[in-house]
């Protein structure tokens, strides 16, 4: 080795050393910049890169049953949105009437009081209620039941007498309705109850 070095010019020797050092520095700089940090998971002993995949949007069409259900839901929600304020106001009057009637024992005095409050109800509700559809009227009766705990047949019978209640019930029957229809928030009317709570918040009522 020493014999070989004797035959290499000193300038060439220095150039060779400088070239080696330059290559070494370049390799070191490259080694520092060619590494990309990434998340990883260990699966069955292997280290695997972990990536968050881009969102994939999947679109589909409603089935006929889903479409009908959405139409029915929208119709119900619209009816509740329209009738709920009437039900709340009517219930406030009805509950107030019931409180006062509990203190009136004389039958003639009761009838006078009922007629006075009946005029108040007609004045406030007759015009807007007559513009309701049959379906909206059904929803209103259910909501009044919800707010007062009494169905419309019981209310009419209490205030107007059993004969009048039966007449109204007969009329309701011809409109495919029922004054005696109950309100079951945890049963048949569970879906309706969900919408009522939503609409109540929209109007700012305490449900």
Could you read off the pLDDT of 92-128 as tens digits, one per residue? 877 888 788 788 888 888 888 877 877 777 777 777 7
Residue 84: pLDDT above 50? yes
Binned at pLDDT 50, 70 and 90, residue 67 comes out as very high
- Residue 17 is assigned to a structural domain of this protein: no
- Residue 44 is assigned to a structural domain of this protein: no
Tens-digit pLDDT profile for residues 137-177: 888 888 888 888 777 667 666 666 655 555 455 545 545 56
pLDDT at 171: 47
Instruction: Please count the residues of the chain.
Output: 207
Strand intervals (E) in the chain: 40-43, 46-49
pLDDT at 5: 44
- Choose among 126, 129, 102: nearest CA to 113: 102
User: CA 171, CA 193: separation in Å to the nearest integer?
Assistant: 27
Phi, psi dihedral angles at 67 (to 5 degrees): -65, -45
Residue 32: pLDDT above 80? no
- Residue 5 is assigned to a structural domain of this protein: no
- Residue 179 is assigned to a structural domain of this protein: yes
- Residue 171 is assigned to a structural domain of this protein: yes
Give the count of domains, the chain.
1
User: CA 192, CA 181: separation in Å to the nearest integer?
Assistant: 14
Binned at pLDDT 50, 70 and 90, residue 17 comes out as low
- Choose among 101, 135, 130, 99: nearest CA to 115: 101
- Residue 156 is assigned to a structural domain of this protein: yes
Q: Are 79 and 85 in contact (CB under 8 A)?
A: no
Question: What tokens appear for 23 in the block?
Answer: 């290559």
Domain residue limits at 196: 65-203
Q: Mean pLDDT across the stretch 180-201?
A: 89
Q: How many CB atoms lie within 10 A of CB 196?
A: 26
User: CA 76, CA 142: separation in Å to the nearest integer?
Assistant: 12
- Residue 19 is assigned to a structural domain of this protein: no
Q: Are 153 and 168 in contact (CB under 8 A)?
A: yes
- Residue 8 is assigned to a structural domain of this protein: no
């Amino acid at each position: 080795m020493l014999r070989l070095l004797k035959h290499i010019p000193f300038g060439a020797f220095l150039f060779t050393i400088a070239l080696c050092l330059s290559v070494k520095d370049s390799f070191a700089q490259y080694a520092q910049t060619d590494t990309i940090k990434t998340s990883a998971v260990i699966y069955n002993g292997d280290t695997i890169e972990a990536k968050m995949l881009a969102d994939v949007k999947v679109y589909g069409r409603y089935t006929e049953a889903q479409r009908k259900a959405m139409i029915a839901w929208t119709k119900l929600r619209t009816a509740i949105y329209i009738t709920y304020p009437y039900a709340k106001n009517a219930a406030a009057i009805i509950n107030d009437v019931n409180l006062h009637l509990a203190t009136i024992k004389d039958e003639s005095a009761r009838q006078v009081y009922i007629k006075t409050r009946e005029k108040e109800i007609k004045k406030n509700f007759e015009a807007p209620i007559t513009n309701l559809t049959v379906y909206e009227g059904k929803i209103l009766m259910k909501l009044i039941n919800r707010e007062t705990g009494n169905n419309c047949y019981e209310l009419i019978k209490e205030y107007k007498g059993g004969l009048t209640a039966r007449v109204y019930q007969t009329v309701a029957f011809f409109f495919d309705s029922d004054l005696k229809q109950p309100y079951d928030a945890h049963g048949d009317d569970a879906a309706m109850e969900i919408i009522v709570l939503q609409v109540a918040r929209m109007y700012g009522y305490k449900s």
